Chains A and B, each alone.
Chain A
Amino acid sequence: EAGVAQSPRYKIIEKRQSVAFWCNPISGHATLYWYQQILGQGPKLLIQFQNNGVVDDSQLPKDRFSAERLKGVDSTLKIQPAKLEDSAVYLCASSSWTSGSYEQYFGPGTRLTVT
């Protein structure tokens, strides 16, 4: 099966600019996650979707971050305005219970540099 796709792979912006990341999960996966991974740290969950509904967004900085999954498939994560501390890799992951597994499959990530 095709893996989780993300674009762009790299993005450099100046602080206060806006940026958007796109994720296409594995076909049929109902659950989609966005994680932020700062260099040298483990991934930190930003938001979890089940189909097109939000399950957990408790760690999403809602004053500047937003995410949507309108049709329950693709998802977009937006940052507006960006801060220097937003420099990180943004990982999208998806999972499906149909195989009886909780495994999350990660995409290649988008590396964001804010200057």
Chain B
Amino acid sequence: GENVEQHPSTLSVQEGDSAVIKCTYSDSASNYFPWYKQELGKRPQLIIDIRSNVGEKKDQRIAVTLNKTAKHFSLHITETQPEDSAVYFCAARWANQAGTALIFGKGTTLSVSS
């Protein structure tokens, strides 16, 4: 089955710096790679996702890159702001129109200090 490793477990940056979180996955059949942000006591919310037919995707200050050969994908946040402070989870799995039972990483706690 799929296994997802996420690093680092904690990340502290200064406001305006960039933050990078990396994940590796084990199942080469996985084709869907979302990133969720979870603030303390809140529900996880999707911030960006990528499918296996795409190498990179950007949405304003957030980008995700995927290397299928190496089976790893990364989240890049530029110009970090204090409101980016949260726990970020990567996930992976093979998905189809019936959905997908995501396998999540253990999370990265990002702290952005002003």
Contact = CB atoms under 8 A, between A and B. Distances in A.
Contact of A31 (B45, B89, B99, B104): B99
Interface centre among A41, A42, A50 (most CB of B within 10 A): A42
Interface string B92-103: 000101111111
Q: How large is the interface on A (under 10, 10 to 19, 20 to 34, 35 or more residues)?
A: 20 to 34
Contacts of B91: 42
B49 A106 contact: no
A55 B45 CA distance: 23
Interface string A26-44: 0000110100000011111
Interface in A75-115: 91, 95, 97, 102-104, 106-109
Interface residues of B, number: 23
Contacts, number: 58
A14 interface: no
18 contacts: A30-B98, A40-B107, A42-B6, A42-B89, A42-B105, A43-B102, A44-B104, A45-B103, A48-B99, A55-B98, A55-B99, A91-B44, A95-B99, A97-B98, A102-B49, A104-B99, A106-B44, A109-B43
Interface of B: 6, 32, 34, 42-46, 49, 89, 91, 95, 97-107
